[in-house]
Amino acid sequence: MTDPPKAILRLASHKDTTKRLQSLGVCHRCLIRIAGETNPTVLRNASSIMALHMTILSGDKKVDNLDGDPGKNGVYDVADVCPCCFGLLQESFTSLAFLTRIQHHVQQNGYTLRTFWCSLTAPNGADIRSRIFDEYWDESAEKISGRLAVKDAWKAVVTPVLTGFFGTRWVGHEGLEINLAVENAQMDGKECEALTAKYPQSFQEKRGPDGKMKRIVTRHSLEKVLASMRSYDFNLLFPFPPRPLTVPSTLVQITCIPCSVFVAGRYLKYSRTVSQTPWFIEEERKGDASVEEMICARLEAAFQAESSRFMASGREDIDVLMLGEGRPFGVELIGAKYAGLTELEMAKVEVQINESHKDIEVKYLSVVERSDMTIIKTGEEDKTKTYSALCSMRELVTPEDLRQINELTTLQIKQKTPVRVLHRRANAERLRRVFDFSAEPIAGKPHHFRLTMKTQAGTYVKEFIHSDFGRTAPSVSALLRKEVECEELDVLAVDLVWPPGRSAFSLN
């Protein structure tokens, strides 16, 4: 015989307390939970483990049957609902038949899962009731630290079954949330009323449907008050044992709360009349459309999402093209029924977007984790971007002009907030770097030249060219001592490995 778990030894060591709990109808799982068991395997197999270790040798002493009922072969089972867990840890809420109901509900409503987790909406006063039993053990037997809550014990029991059903992982609070609402007709909230009367300042007062003011007990406020109560005060307010339960608890509702799904990709923009996000000035739309709308509409449909939130690694002005390998972007699909698509399905979504809109193109669409989305926004000022600008001058462009630019290595510039955005951004001065200059003449256009350069992210490139009335210094205009304008600007590269997992080589 294997060594018994510590909880079994504690139950045997404190026989009087154990028998008292059993006489009140406390179920096996609650017994070993109260005695400090946290091992999911032991909790799942509580009855069989207790039956196996009914005779425990401790030195030369033989410990009596824990149940005190030899006729049941050491297996204790009560007909009524457990007064401690209100039946949550008993067969009615842990059996294959019950868990199959959860599986069918999820599948019938069309949800797919990458990960999932379960939450419980328990009857009023459930936490108080279980603590009454915990306090009784701590006072009459031995104090237990790190004891599992009833809800956590239930999760430990059902996790392997549900993960097997869904073929995926139960991960913290990530993925599809499956909420189970459990009620018990005899748990009418009397315990909560005692708390609101004792600590009225801890519960917010609101007017009820009858027009009378009432203290509202939320889960947060209840947990906060219980955590602050000393054992002595708790036991005075809630003496042991609590009222018995003879009516079984019932599952009244299963609610699936879809998770957010995160899609990463890169977009190219081929139009100078398409903005990155919807652009309105005084309720008047500017531009023909937006990158965000064209991408998100298709993704929402593909994932059956309720809504979406678009984010990108920087933004280009409406009249600036995004070329090369495109700009990294991410979309949070809120309330998505589909937690993921296959590579083939994602490729089809790419094709749908690209064939529907000539002004944009998307690449490398893939589902990523929530944590990956921080990559887009972190280290903003450390990223570099490559630009190509069509520049013009009143004078003829001379070889000397081009030579002066091409001999530049790295410039540290000071930029004040551009005049064109002062109405929506604070006036501030920022330092930026510009480097890797290349200036080339344009055949047939003696007043124009093509300027390519790399810049630190956040650089106002147009202003670096024309100086913005001297608010950017130095500038191309100042260096050449000529008025230089930026007629067209294109972004050639945003140096960020994205989506995560793609090699830098694959983006060249």
Out of 80, 138, 152, 317, pick the active-site residue: 317
Strand partners, 361: 268
Instruction: Give which of 443, 444, 475, 447 is closest to 459, Cα–Cα.
Output: 475
Instruction: Give how far Cα 193 sits from Cα of 125, 234, 242, Å.
Output: 9, 14, 15
Tell me whether residue 490 is one of the annotated catalytic residues: no
Spatial neighbors of 405 by CB under 8 A, at least 6 apart, are 437, 438, 439, 451, 476, 479, 480
Residue with tokens 């991410």: 330
Instruction: Please give the structure tokens belonging to residue 2.
Output: 């294997």
| Rounded distance between C-alpha atoms, residue 167 and residue 154, angstroms | 20
| Rounded distance between C-alpha atoms, residue 338 and residue 113, angstroms | 7
Angle, helices 15-23/6-13, rounded to nearest 10 degrees: 90
Instruction: Give how far Cα 75 sits from Cα of 67, 71, 119, 131, Å.
Output: 7, 9, 30, 25
Cβ 475 vs Cβ 464: under 8 Å? yes
Dihedral pair phi/psi, residue 340, rounded to 5°: -175, 155
> Catalytic amino acids?
317
